[in-house]
Amino acid sequence: MTSRSLKVLVTGANGQLGAELVNLSAEGFDLQGFGRDALDITNLKQCREVLSAYQPDVVIHCAAYTAVDKAESEPDEAFRVNAAGTRNIALAARESGSKLCYVSTDYVFDGRGTIAYNETDPTNPQTVYGKSKLAGEQAVSSLHDRYFIVRTSWVYGKYGNNFVKTMLKLAGERDQLKVVDDQIGSPTYTLDLAHFLLELVRTDYYGIYHASNTGVCSWFEFAKAIFEESGASLRLEPCKTDEFPRPAPRPSFSVMDHSAIRVNGLTDLRHWRDALIHYLKDDKQ
């Protein structure tokens, strides 16, 4: 006897991760994506109506305000989406009896660490974006009792704009490039993250998780690997963050420890370089 498919509602279905999820052919899942046109998360009434009508087993909440620099000049909008919007989804999910998986970020930490951040380490966001995402985490944990909070970092994939696509584009336009080497973290391939999220939401191992591809690199090392694996030839030079001032400070250390994945016996994500190779091959097809 086969168990029925798990009904999963994905918010932010037009974003990088949301699009990856809804386009997966995942056995045992009935994935339904909602973009902003079909589900405005800042509208509590609409959140309640959509979830009540669809009755999902799980909501994977990918919709977010992600313009890190722009958030510094429009904090109200960042909080309206990331905090109030997440509160609305948490309330509607609880009322419809759905589990909730909220995708969060390494930006909830201050980025000043020297050892990988554990799920239980104190948060201390330094940007409006990070503060608004942490407010979303707090809404989820206070309003819902069956939740997963999944913090990730340096996301790229097939859908939407990202660092890998930018590097490949620049490789076709320039013969030399400078990339910062004093920000350290772990790239995350949306395909691998999507598969992890689906494995996670099948369980009742609720709580906070850190999920990125394994291994650590700087943006410079990541760019170097992109060019090596794609066969692009240009001169790449390391530089420092202060050479490229941005409205929102970037964390210099974004490495996260995956202890919750290990403790709960879940499948960790593959090494970031293996994931990059897969992405570049897949992108060519």
> What is the DSSP code (8-state) at residue 83?
I
Sign of CA dihedral 242, 275, 121, 68: positive
56 and 31 Cβ atoms separated by less than 8 Å: no
Buried b (16+ CB within 10 A) or exposed e, 64-78: bbbebeebbeeeebb
Beta carbons within 10 angstroms of residue 274's beta carbon: 15
Give the CA angle between residues 148, 149, 150 to the nearest 5°: 110
> What is the DSSP code (8-state) at residue 60?
E
Reported as type and span, the H/E element at residue 31 is: strand 29-34
* CB-based burial label for 11 (10 Å; 0-12, 13-18, 19+): buried
190 and 266 Cβ atoms separated by less than 8 Å: no
Beta carbons within 10 angstroms of residue 147's beta carbon: 22
In sequence order, what are the residues at sequence separation of 6 or more whose Cβ sits closer than 8 angstroms to the Cβ of residue 275? 187, 188, 189, 191, 192, 213, 269
Give yes or no: 159 in active site. no
- Of 102, 107, 117, 129, which is the active-site residue? 129
The residues assigned a catalytic role are: 129
